[in-house]
Structure 1
């Protein structure tokens, strides 16, 4: 038996393919199912079952499309109000995938009301459990994604579900969560790249703290999550088809200018230092090297036309793959190549370090804009800085004081996005491309 993790690090998620050398099943597959299909071909196995732990809030599932394409049975909780035919599954149901692969469903509400975990029993193998968004590595899934009215009930359910897993499964059981590798679906930061039930009993707050302590600390620590999450549940209930990853229409410079002047989003995928050094006026910088889909999906008005600019067609294709995972299925247009071919004149703005900021504040007044999230600001911030979280900047642009704006975040990635938004609005801006910890020495 082999359990293959399929990582999507940009969203902080993992899917799984499990096989016995002949047949296989998948757990929580991402939208770009070609990765699963390639694994099936590489291993020479046939997919017979697809299991969803829950209706996902942070990405569009590939489960429905993968099952239809391969003829696999698609297992979704019987209580989920989906609009497609599936193999309903409920607490205690057992699926005999093969003589070597036996899967049992366990109700583990908390992340959602209908969340399921799947216990894998295979003769001669250490048991495993696919925990989705319930028990994570040193944490649990967040209970507030269905709205504040349900958070109280779900956080108590999450505690009970973690306890159920710890009670019913032996300590050596390997734990395979879907979330917790940087996903905003994690209630608190996770720890480690692998775990067992025994390890979780030692380190997981849901298993080491009493219920009220766990509930109080978890709810107090909940932070904001991306705005595009609001659209994921509806897409997954509808049964999303396979994505179209064919190349988008290519835009000439005149068309780019027309789209920018019309107020459409034209996004430059290049690294933030390259963008700052020279870019088409009015374009926005969401570098493919960072949390591209998360932050673009967070800020882009849902359903708006989107055009991408990249160093190469491959860079555009990578971005397109990232976007279909969150339901942005087709681009209005794209262009690739040398930025100097996209416009007769380019704009630029400086990048700097915290040491540079310390020096300039001795000589002239500047606006320091901190675009980190509220929880980061609360942990510590620069004196006299203005705080507007990145995800609020578009609506609060008028609150940025007049003058030269030095914008920073934790690492420089979000600062670059904010700097491009300010630059497009005609503000004089400097992007602090530095690690926040460097401010101490500066």
Structure 2
């Protein structure tokens, strides 16, 4: 549920509007294909998590199976990734609030969310788990009901004089109005949308009986996410012409409002807000655990090792939040531009994470040698799927370089890696 909570957030509720505009009705195929590649990542991570369940996950695995710098890079990049994702959630919540309060400054909504999530994450782990579980349940149930209700309108004309039917899938330029290039562009936003599925590995160190719960979670998570993403996209582009979907709010809310269901639109807006809260809540949780894991490796300041009596790494929570708080300030000065900038940066960081997970699992297999035969949960078609996944994620980075709104993040990527490398060298000198 924690992985669902982070994966079903702004990427689906808001980012899907830009995905629909890039590819048209074929958007459902974009999410289906993207989800398959994300499964490769989660399955590779699941193999390592079952064999060695730790809090800190693939940073620890990269450190143990690949090398010191790989562990340092993956840990700090993961932390940076979810600082950026958290910034996205904080920056976009104001857009959703405009559905009811169009005059409310966006930064005010972001500040309220920021304070609320920090209070929750500074309490004990069980409280976080319970709140996140129910937050994810609300999203899952709501999306399921939305899909069912939408299918009722499409097939039986619920609330309409007649069934809407499937004409919107082909009437406005066809099913593939933007061609294969449009689909390739859409994979960029799809990639951001699936961020958070790897949280299964982050939670392994605090999960009960990880040898059973992690495989079950991995095997179920992708199927469920694909049902929610592909199913909801099918309903949206069938209910409403894809080329009329705007970017002034969640397409879920806009479409149901446009076809004459304002009550459903308001209910969905509540769900969207719940989704933002849940996703940010999960991101901060994972960020703090990654920082704590880095500190235990002596790859982060020692004060981040500290935990409260309840086992919460409060110093790590506050350290991450210090940077996420920048989003509130930026939203005050540039409310409309901040989303695309931060989302593109988060996407590049996610690509680095997933490529490193796939390659780390290759190094893991080489490291354990003959013990591979005793693994209870194995990556299928190893190492073929690893290399196919790596090529796919590299192609997404290349695609971003030709998209003006995402190009800056690609240019900043080598600078960010250089900064991490300098930090690593400073750490090595300090250790001597």
Of the two, which has the highest radius of gyration?
A: 1
TM-score greater than 0.5 by the shorter chain: no
Q: Give 1 or 2: higher helix fraction.
A: 2
> Larger RCO: Structure 1 or Structure 2 (Cα < 8 Å, ≥ 6 residues apart)?
2
- Relative to the length of structure 2, the TM-score reads 0.22
- Relative to the length of structure 1, the TM-score reads 0.22
